[in-house]
Amino acid sequence: MKIVMLGAPGAGKGTQAKMIAAKYDIPHVSTGDIFRANIKNGTELGKEAKSYMDKGALVPDELTVRILLDRVAQDDCAKGYVLDGFPRTIPQAEVLDAELIKLNDKIDFAINVDVPDENIVRRMSGRRSCPSCGATYHIVHIPPKQEGVCDKCGAALVQRDDDKEETVKNRLKVYHEQTQPLIDFYEKKGVLKNVDGTVDSEEVFAAIVNILD
Ligand code: ADP
Ligand code: ADP
Ligand code: ZN
């Protein structure tokens, strides 16, 4: 099963993608996580990606596509995957499509997690992430058992550099200009599924499972 998660930054794509990956035993592939791992390890790719991410801009398609195609060509992706944060532009979606066609394959579901802009800034300002295992929390909606500490691995939680209010506003603008058109793109392919992302994360997940099962 090959799944694409669509939705604004902070809509809950990552939260849902992790739950889908666990239930259906497929890898969760997040281009944002791949870039952040590279930044943490000080690679050249990380340095280049960071210059865009800090501004809330998109990393150029050419670089992003190369990273993503490399990742989905690995053995663990053979039985399917859930893509989170990719594609983010029409050209990215077209390249992915063309690659899949070569393999006589396709995206099965594009799940659009719908959350209005008004809710987004609040979601993002409360987001806390684990720099060690990648788990994500929200200080109000999905708090860790002990404040500031990851439930899964015990590391100290951090706020992402790009979750500051000014950067979030720019990311939302970029989302509407470049990413939202993908809703139409996947609608035309007949694989788009909309879910209400404003309800609590277990309810969102139940709606997604309903679609996938
Ligand atoms: P969020 O889940 O909040 O939307 P991500 O972790 O997906 O954030 O992305 C963080 C940043 O990484 C983006 O703002 C962008 O700079 C970069 N990025 C991630 N995925 C892509 C992509 N597919 N194309 C271009 N840039 C990307
Ligand atoms: P995205 O990957 O789309 O950027 P995340 O999954 O990282 O979004 O979620 C953004 C923030 O909102 C995180 O702090 C997360 O814990 C929180 N969150 C996720 N889903 C929900 C939900 N259904 N209701 C409230 N908060 C949520
Ligand atoms: Zn952790």
Question: What's the pLDDT tens digit per position in 47-95?
Answer: 999 999 999 999 999 999 999 999 999 999 999 999 999 999 999 999 9
Question: Do residues 141 and 51 touch, judged by C-beta distance below 8 A?
Answer: no
| C-beta of 143 in contact with ligand 2 (< 6 A) | no
pLDDT at 149 (0 to 100): 98
CATH number of the CATH domain containing 182: 3.40.50.300
pLDDT at 181 (0 to 100): 98
| C-beta of 7 in contact with ligand 2 (< 6 A) | yes
**Which helix H or strand E contains 163, and what residues bound it?**
none
**Tokens read off for 131:** 């720099």
pLDDT at 161 (0 to 100): 86
* Residue 44 domain flag: yes
**Tokens read off for 103:** 């393999």
Question: Do residues 160 and 127 touch, judged by C-beta distance below 8 A?
Answer: yes
Atom of ligand 1 nearest to the CA of 8: 4
* Residue 52 domain flag: yes
Q: Using 50, 70 and 90 to split pLDDT, how confident is the model at 25?
A: very high
pLDDT at 164 (0 to 100): 86
Domain range for 98:
2-115+173-212
Amino acid letter for position 70: D
Q: Where are the alpha helices (DSSP H) in 59-180?
A: 61-72, 90-102, 117-125, 165-174
